[in-house]
């Protein structure tokens, strides 16, 4: 299927590896011109080279922290009028809420809620004016089914989801859509480090914890970043203009609910 977005411009945040990279790759395959970000320059440049070589896409890497105003300005200076925005940033640490200070909470709220909203704010009026916009926020399965031990994520992402639920309904009339992709367990560095932390706490080898986590999945496997990227590309496509304000869970059916 031709997604009808060749020549469109996209900003993909948090794209040097993992889920953001999967999204960048999928959009590049559709002929989208990319501006990708991550804090670490070396990995980001290597990813840009890899995607360029594989797809021939025009791609600009901007080493920047999107949870800071300066970082967002650097990204927007490279791509002031994106047609597509994929928001993404590092997930907050796991732990016991009794140990989290107000500062810990403000950091999580900034990183997983406010930074996403400020990026949306910066680009949405241009999208409305041009009568095309696709915004996809990478959130978490935690939005539907909270993870014990990831309270900072459960809380901050719920805030983003609530805000976006309202805004999405104000802008769909302009062919601007906002949707959230909720990863279940995808085999990325983030997942591996969470599982390694769990293994350490339980005093078992990481490989054993990884195998147990896989076995606990309904699909008996983790998701891949390519699968995740493909879902993102479809939500960004010309065909997805009537999908608005949705929270799409990609978890192989692990969430046990009819709706
Ligand atoms: N993988 C899963 O199964 C899963 C499940 C639920 C939720 N999630 C959430 O989905 C998001 C992506 O996860 P992932 O597994 O793809 O993580 P990952 O493998 O650690 O990749 C994160 C990417 O984002 C970049 N990044 C992180 N913070 C950034 C910032 N402030 N500004 C710009 N770039 C930033 C990282 O590069 P730098 O470090 O160089 O900046 C890297 O490229 C996270 O919020 C995670 O919590 C993932």
- pLDDT tens string, the chain, 259 residues long: the values are 999 999 999 999 999 999 999 999 999 999 999 999 999 999 999 999 999 999 999 999 999 999 999 999 999 999 999 999 999 999 999 999 999 999 999 999 999 999 999 999 999 999 999 999 999 999 999 999 999 899 999 999 999 999 999 999 999 999 999 999 999 999 999 999 999 999 999 999 999 999 999 999 999 999 999 999 999 999 999 999 999 999 999 999 999 999 9
pLDDT of residue 99: 97
> Is residue 219 within 8 Å of 16, Cβ to Cβ?
no
Closest atom of ligand 1 relative to the 22 alpha carbon: 16
Which pTM does this prediction carry?
0.98
CB 138 less than 6 A from any atom of ligand 1: yes
pLDDT of residue 43: 98
Longest Cα–Cα distance in the chain: 56
Closest residue CA from atom 12 of ligand 1: 19
CB 151 less than 6 A from any atom of ligand 1: no
The total of other beta-carbon atoms located within 10 Å of residue 174's CB is 16
pLDDT of residue 85: 99
pLDDT of residue 47: 98
CB 189 less than 6 A from any atom of ligand 1: yes
To test the ligand 1 pocket, which listed residue (19, 66, 87, 252) has its Cβ within 8 A of the most ligand atoms? 19
pLDDT of residue 22: 98
CB 87 less than 6 A from any atom of ligand 1: no
Question: Which residues lie below 8 Å from residue 113, measured CB to CB, with a gap of 6+?
Answer: 156, 157, 159, 160, 163
Cα–Cα distance for residue pair 73/5, rounded to 1 Å: 25
Cα–Cα distance for residue pair 223/37, rounded to 1 Å: 23
pLDDT of residue 222: 98
pLDDT of residue 28: 98
């Amino acid at each position: 299927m031709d997604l009808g977005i060749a020549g469109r411009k996209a900003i993909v945040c948090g794209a040097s590896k993992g889920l953001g990279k999967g999204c960048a790759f999928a959009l590049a395959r559709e002929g989208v011109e990319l501006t990708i970000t991550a804090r670490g320059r070396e990995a980001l440049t290597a990813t840009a080279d890899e995607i360029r070589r594989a797809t021939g896409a025009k791609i600009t890497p901007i080493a920047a922290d999107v949870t800071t105003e300066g970082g967002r300005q650097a990204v927007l200076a490279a791509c002031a009028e994106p047609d597509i925005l994929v928001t993404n940033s590092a997930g907050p640490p796991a732990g016991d809420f009794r140990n989290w200070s107000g500062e810990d909470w403000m950091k999580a709220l900034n990183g997983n809620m406010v930074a996403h909203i400020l990026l949306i704010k910066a680009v949405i009026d241009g999208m409305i004016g041009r009568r095309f916009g696709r915004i996809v926020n990478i959130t978490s399965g935690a939005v539907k089914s909270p993870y014990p031990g990831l309270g900072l994520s459960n809380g901050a992402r719920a805030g983003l989801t609530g805000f976006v639920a309202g805004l999405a309904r104000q802008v769909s009339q302009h062919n601007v859509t906002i949707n959230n992709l909720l990863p279940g367990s995808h085999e990325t560095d983030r997942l591996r480090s969470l599982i390694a932390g769990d293994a350490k706490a339980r005093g078992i080898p990481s490989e054993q914890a990884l195998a147990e986590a896989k076995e606990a999945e309904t699909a008996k496997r983790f998701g891949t970043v390519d699968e995740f990227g493909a879902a993102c590309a479809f939500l960004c496509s010309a065909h997805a203009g009537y999908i608005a304000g949705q929270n799409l869970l990609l978890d192989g059916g692990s969430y046990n609910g009819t709706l």
